[in-house]
A and B are shown apart, each in its own frame.
Chain A
């Protein structure tokens, strides 16, 4: 039988996606300060949405809680990179058993990795939940995870500064570092998708019971993808903190969740290409809408606050109605080539049920 695609075929999609992100990085490098900022945050969004896609794309289960992993990554980076003397001033009421946080310090690259690991630890702790739940139940459970993490961060003032901003994080995220992490995340997401676990998880996405009947340990594969996806989203949080240098707990709540959902739904949540393209397109769109709202396209008269969000919500609604699986559906980005598989399924070669498709023969009972 024929070979199932050459190595270049297999690697085509991740290479093209990384090239797209590279393009965004080059735009950022070539543009003014605002463009550079938009491009960098767009690439951080690519990291996050790629992470989300590792779980949602293969399992078919949407998560509304992944921003919690991003928060864990951002706070971890804050604890590890804010200068020690500033930390001593910021955290005066740390409980004794956490006092080591004041003296903890690491280079940004170490902080980045530890942030991913910290998010993955939260992933490990919460994985039994996603392993057991499907559909609506799972969606609500992930939302509950977001609420729990948000409330802990918002209320545990002595440790997290509560609703006060986390400040003084050195700016370590460059556009090229963000690009490198995005490229690595895309490669990891693609490798997972094509792995044994990824294939079995995609089978369970198509039919849960048929997957069980094929011996597939659906829960185990869901948990594995959940943890890997948490790690990548933790990296996104670290990059975010290292770029903005200060953040507030409200950065990691419903507004961010909504924006990321728009990205992955618009692009197509079942497809890695959809996730990456959605992140880039919606990041660009958000910036255009911000400018529209500020009056840059309406002769300087600012539009009412909230117009940008309103339009973004409309885009989400339109996508859900017109193309529920987004721009990409389940397709992945490939180079254009001769039309694939235009020939219809050839009945003549079928040996098992040679007459199966004869349309004139009456079907036997119901």
Chain B
């Protein structure tokens, strides 16, 4: 488990087949099939309430699917806990960052490395590498709750990388930023993922942000798949135009 690049050399696929979940009869996700391949960035987009975050919750194990299956290659993860999925390399972030506030940035990253199964020495080496890679060295000893919003976002990503992800599930990592900043952030995340041959599922509501940063897009509306494909094709799809721009167009 020491060399992630070596581990993920064989191409992997994280797949949800016909996945669904309902809360009190309301179908938040209804028969969605999607897959993320190692090395690619799949953008999961759709308007508010379309089931993006619920889909991410199903994949990460925060919610258990009421229908459908979730596989990582040949392994059935449908019944696995979030923790078991992290051990298998399926790692999520949260929209608000949810860093460990009263721990330092370094402790945030080290705790995640330990949680994913690293021993102490390797966990500290991994921590230092990631802090360097993400330029967090200067704030390593700063408590996470006294960071700027930007650094909280970065710390949350550093923590996810410490878990040695084969698949990163990112819930609006650029929330609250303007378009330029968002594109910049996602482009750098893409770089981190590429270096690790890691697949990325990116939940995002802004179409313009995902256009240049994702390899493929999967569009949801009311818990169902609208269309999936290359960004350029998806943007021209009349159903997507209607969802995003209404009947004016």
Contacts and interface: CB of A to CB of B under 8 A. Distances in A.
Contacts, number: 163
A268 to B, nearest CB: 12
B-side binding surface: helix, strand, loop or mixed?
Answer: helix
Contact of A356 (B86, B102, B142, B153): B153
Given A199-B107, A214-B163, A206 B135 contact: no
A-side binding surface: helix, strand, loop or mixed?
Answer: loop
Interface in A331-366: 341, 345-347, 349-357, 361-365
A361 B138 contact: no
B2 interface: no
A68 B243 CA distance: 61
Nearest to A358: B181
Contacts of B180: 355
Interface string A211-245: 11111110000000000000000000000000000
16 contacts: A196-B120, A206-B100, A207-B98, A207-B100, A212-B83, A213-B62, A213-B86, A214-B159, A215-B163, A345-B147, A347-B148, A350-B154, A353-B150, A356-B185, A363-B176, A364-B177
Given A203-B103, A209-B62, A351 B135 contact: yes
B135 A203 contact: no
A322 interface: no
Most chain A beta carbons < 10 A, residue from B102, B110, B139, B180: B102
Interface residues of A, number: 40
A363 B112 contact: no
Given A202-B103, A215-B83, A345 B139 contact: yes
Contacts of A200: 111, 114-115
A199 B182 contact: no
A349 B147 CA distance: 13
A36 B233 CA distance: 84
B178 to A, nearest CB: 5
A1 B131 contact: yes
Interface string A7-31: 0000000000000000000000000
A214 B111 contact: yes
Contacts of A210: 94, 98-100, 159
Nearest to B87: A215
B141 A353 contact: no
